[in-house]
């Protein structure tokens, strides 16, 4: 099975442009035989907490239907980031569009204090199963929260994947944590980060995969849109850059 961690460059607050952008990434991944794509945190809007109330979507928003149609047609699971309206309030969420199945939402349960004025905590999924493989999940700050990690690990994931929006300082901390998690749990870890403007700063990419010893298997640069494709069979990583 092939997994793709996407390093996108969001169009700030432009949902339609970002959906079209996501589909371009997804098509290139599908052409490579990828079956699971994971996008960065709030990839459909850009990471802009102060705009969350006006950008928040419902899970069944008709504009998102194109993503489900792509999933159905190409037999690809897409994990995309967005501010989502839920019973808990506006959540930072990953929506998973799965071929022939209903969409499901993984909400950020553990918020960074800076996010609390704009977002509500929501329930995590118990990871996600794609083609019989269990994947643990975390959204950005959660990867540094031991309680979240323990909750995901109780389902015995084969891989632990994180969707983030990290500027330089947070990026260094995240990469250290993911290498440590890989070593401690003897598990392959991955991180999808964006590039470009985010909440008055810049996200710095470095989308990456670590092996179970905590060593980098594949790493994207800090400036360009692209994707890291990981093969779960031979543990190979291939970087792809493109203009979208």
Q: Which domains does the chain have, with CATH numbers?
A: 2-241 (3.60.110.10)
CA distance 222 to 31: 25
**What's residue 233's pLDDT?**
94
Q: Residue 236: pLDDT above 90?
A: yes
CA distance 42 to 226: 17
CA distance 231 to 16: 31
Number of H helices, E strands in the chain: 5, 15
Return the SS3 of 212.
coil
**What's residue 244's pLDDT?**
46
pLDDT digits (tens, 9 = 90+) for 165-182: 999 989 999 999 999 999
CA distance 242 to 224: 8
- The whole-chain average pLDDT of the chain stands at 96
Mean pLDDT along residues 56-66: 96
Closest CA relative to residue 209, chosen from 236, 240, 241: 236
Share of the chain above pLDDT 90, in %: 98
CA distance 161 to 76: 17
pLDDT band at 79 (very low <50, low <70, confident <90, very high): very high
Closest CA relative to residue 97, chosen from 136, 122, 130: 130
């Amino acid at each position: 099975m092939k997994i793709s961690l996407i390093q996108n460059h969001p169009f700030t607050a432009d949902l339609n442009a970002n959906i079209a952008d996501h589909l371009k990434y997804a098509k290139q991944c599908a052409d490579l035989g990828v079956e699971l794509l994971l996008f960065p945190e709030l990839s459909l809007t850009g990471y802009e907490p102060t705009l969350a109330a006006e950008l928040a979507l419902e899970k069944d928003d008709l504009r998102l239907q194109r993503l489900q149609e792509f999933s159905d047609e190409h037999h690809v699971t897409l994990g995309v980031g967005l501010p989502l309206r839920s019973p808990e309030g506006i959540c930072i969420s990953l929506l998973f569009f799965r071929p022939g199945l209903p969409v499901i939402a993984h909400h950020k349960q553990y918020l960074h204090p800076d996010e609390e004025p704009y977002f509500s905590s929501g329930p995590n999924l118990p990871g996600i199963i794609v083609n019989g493989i269990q994947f643990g999940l975390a959204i950005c700050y959660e990867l540094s929260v031991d309680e979240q990690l323990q909750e995901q690990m109780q389902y015995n994931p084969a891989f632990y994947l994180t969707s983030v929006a990290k500027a330089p300082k947070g990026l260094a901390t995240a990469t250290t944590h993911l290498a440590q998690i890989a070593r401690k749990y003897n598990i392959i870890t991955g991180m999808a980060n964006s590039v470009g403007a985010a909440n008055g700063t810049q996200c710095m990419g470095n989308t990456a995969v670590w092996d179970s010893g905590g060593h980098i298997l594949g790493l994207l640069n800090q400036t360009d849109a692209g994707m890291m494709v990981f093969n779960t069979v031979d543990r190979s990583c291939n970087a792809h850059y493109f203009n979208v």
